[in-house]
Chains A and B, each alone.
Chain A
Amino acid sequence: MWLFDRDLWVEIFHTLGQNLFRTFLTMLGVIFAMIILVLLLGSSNGMSNGFNKVFAGTASNSLFVWGQSTSEPYKGFERGRRIRYKIEDAELIKKQIPEIEVLAPRIELGSHRGVVTVYRKGQTSGSSVYGDYPEIDNITKKRLVEGRFLNQTDIDDSKKVCVIGEETYKLLFEKGEKAIGQDIRINGVFFSVVGIFKPNNNINIDGENAVFIPFTTFQKAFNSGDRMGWMAISVEPNTKVVVVENEIKEILKKKYDIHPKDERAIGSFDMSEIFNNITAFTTVLKGFSFFVGIFTLLAGVIAISNILLITVKERTKEIGVRRALGATPKVVKRQIVVEAIVLTAFAGLIGFAIAVGFLAIADSLWGSGDDFPFVKPMVSVPQFVISFILMVGLSVLIGLIPANRAIRVRPIEALREE
């Protein structure tokens, strides 16, 4: 196996070592190209990770459905009728659409996005108050600072407990005061605080100033009967959200006698759309980085090929001697191609090491993703392997140019050259 042929390597390193400065300059192109490629890829990975962090805690394949007012008259109803869902709708939808993973009904105190005054020991806050099922946590994850979120026992026993937002806590409690176990008052009803949550910093559906109480408690405490405000729904991974969205709308339109063409009666928001847009954006970004990087790399490898062409010209006589002594064209070619590979691979690794160093520094400086979406900027192993293989592949192809030049000169002509 020629790969383990010591003489081949001795010869390659000897020729490369003969003019170290030139060898280094040759490699510089590939080193820079590799740095650019890895930095571009790493940064776009960092951005992609950053966006993922922004959306962490929100199920990507989820949607929200709420009631609005009709915009078309239908079956004797006038337009402008307010659509109010009932809790049974949740069961109905869940039964008819098996692709739904989680369906969390919610009811809101006051009007939508309305504010309710919450009291505690003379302090007040204007907060949103939601009646929720624990399942909501699977769709919009709450980052709990303290305590716990609502659970099934709360629902079953209609416990008078609540989970409050950090903002609400700040308004109702003194700094550092213990809130768990304390009571707050909403519309004359007392609720015991069991948890404090911090909003997910970027996607905010519930607001920062919010109070969650069990759905069943809400029904009893505020006498909401079987009303339901809106639904948070997550669908199975391989199901298109928009399909489920349309199915739900159809069911609801039928049930509430809404004109089939009425687009305004049912409000909905498809979370996956945002995700898809961002995924598309980061994919394009990554693709573009790769594209630019590979072409830079190509330029670097061509520079290597150029220098090898010069070297071959300088070594014409030596190559002639070798061929007179019995070196076949294949052997001569191999040596020059391997030189190209060694130069490229070595330069590529140096560039890679430098770029990874840069990325590590960038990561330690801005990698937390707090200020802008930039988290763990680094290239993945497959990305590295692919670029490395591509680079070496290119160097083989490009190395063939000087290699063929080397054997095109006939030994007799090469020997004649003085």
Chain B
Amino acid sequence: MIEIKDLHKSYKMGSNSLHVLKGINFSAEEGELVAIMGSSGSGKSTLLNILGMLDGADSGEYNLDNVPIRDLNETKAAQYRNKFLGFIFQSFNLINYKSALENVALPLYYQKVNRKVRQEKALKYLEQVGLKDWATHLPSELSGGQKQRVAIARAMAAEPKVLLADEPTGALDSTTSYEVMDLIQKINDAGNTILVVTHEEDIAHMCKRIVHLKDGVIVEDKKIEQVRAAQYV
């Protein structure tokens, strides 16, 4: 599903150049649930941004579902993001003046799905995350966990190939974190490919594979025994 070969990325900081990714080789099969770990500055967010086509690599190959991702202009990148990727952010990033339903329907709007179908689909995904009754509520009326669940529903709405979660539990207490992880596991159980960036060990262990990044290189890549989040909920 995801294939990365010898990926390099450096940032210019004034006259200095900061080499953030120093040759990353990584691949993920369909249906995997991968945790990307590393301390701050390890390059894990940069990697996720490149995977999310929010940022471009300096060199290296990136194939997503056998589509080579390179030389993207903003329009193309936006279309690919919409088609291939679902984002889950640490700070939820819901649009605060839109109801939960409208937030979930937003990616479908950019896919030019007609309004009625959009709402039906959005409602279906809200139901999946258990928030059907909250459809008309604004994000400000939801708890943190609920917001993240809306965000997950939104990420799923466009039926992407890969879900990218950047510290999805970073802003949540541990109980809520486990609820969110439980949801992510269930989505993964249904066959979706998910990449989770986290620095929390317990969250990482709820995935099926852990990739450790340090100073821009992968230092460890191992399959693990998944800890089900449901037992903590």
Mark A residues whose CB is within 8 Å of B: 6-7, 14-15, 18, 317-318, 320-331, 407, 410-412, 415, 418
Q: Does B209 contact A (CB under 8 A)?
A: no
B230 at the interface (CB under 8 A from A): no
Q: Name the distance in Å between A326's Cβ and chain B's nearest Cβ.
A: 2
Q: Report whether A18 and B97 are in contact in the complex, using a CB–CB cutoff of 8 Å.
A: yes
- Are the CB atoms of A326 and B111 closer together than 8 Å? yes
Which of chain A's residues have a CB closer than 8 A to the CB of B55? 410, 412
Inter-chain contact A329/B75, CB cutoff 8 Å = yes
A321 near B115: Cβ-Cβ < 8 Å: no
- Closest B residue to A14 using CB positions: B97
A326 touches B115 (CB 8 A): no
Query: In the complex, A331 Cα to B110 Cα: how many Å?
Result: 9
- Please state if A325 and B82 are interface contacts (CB–CB under 8 Å): yes
Distance in Å: Cβ of B97 to nearest Cβ of chain A: 6
Which 8 A-B residue pairings sit nearest by Cβ, starting from the closest? Answer: A326-B82, A326-B110, A412-B54, A328-B78, A321-B93, A328-B75, A325-B107, A329-B74
Pairs A–B under 8 Å by Cβ, sample size 28: A6-B115, A14-B97, A18-B97, A317-B93, A318-B95, A321-B93, A321-B94, A321-B95, A322-B110, A323-B78, A325-B106, A325-B107, A325-B158, A326-B81, A326-B83, A326-B107, A326-B110, A326-B111, A328-B74, A328-B78, A328-B110, A329-B74, A330-B75, A407-B74, A410-B54, A411-B54, A412-B54, A412-B55
Q: Do B75 and A326 touch (CB < 8 A)?
A: no
Given contacts A321-B89, A331-B110, 12 further A-B contacts (CB under 8 A): A15-B97, A18-B97, A324-B52, A326-B79, A326-B82, A326-B107, A326-B111, A327-B78, A328-B74, A407-B74, A410-B55, A415-B89
A331 CA to B106 CA in the complex, in Å? 13
A325/B110 contact (C-beta < 8 A), A6-B115, A7-B115, A330-B75 known: yes
Distance, CA A7 to CA B109, complexed state (A): 8
Q: Is B49 part of the contact surface with A, judged by Cβ < 8 Å?
A: yes
Inter-subunit contact A326/B78 (CB<8 Å):
yes
**CB-defined interface of B58-98 with A at 8 Å, one 1/0 digit per residue?**
00000000000000001100110111000101010111010
Point out the residues of chain A lying under 8 angstroms from B54, CB to CB.
Answer: 324, 410-412, 415
**Residue-wise interface mask of B (32-74) relative to A, using a CB-CB cutoff of 8 A (1 in contact, 0 not):** 0000000000000000010010110000000000000000001
- Give B166's nearest chain A residue, CB to CB: A415
Closest to A407 in B: B74
Q: Which of A14, A325, A331 contacts B87 (CB 8 A)?
A: A325
| B107 smallest CB distance to A (angstroms) | 5
B154 within 8 A of A: yes
Minimum CB–CB distance from B78 to chain A (whole Å) comes to 4
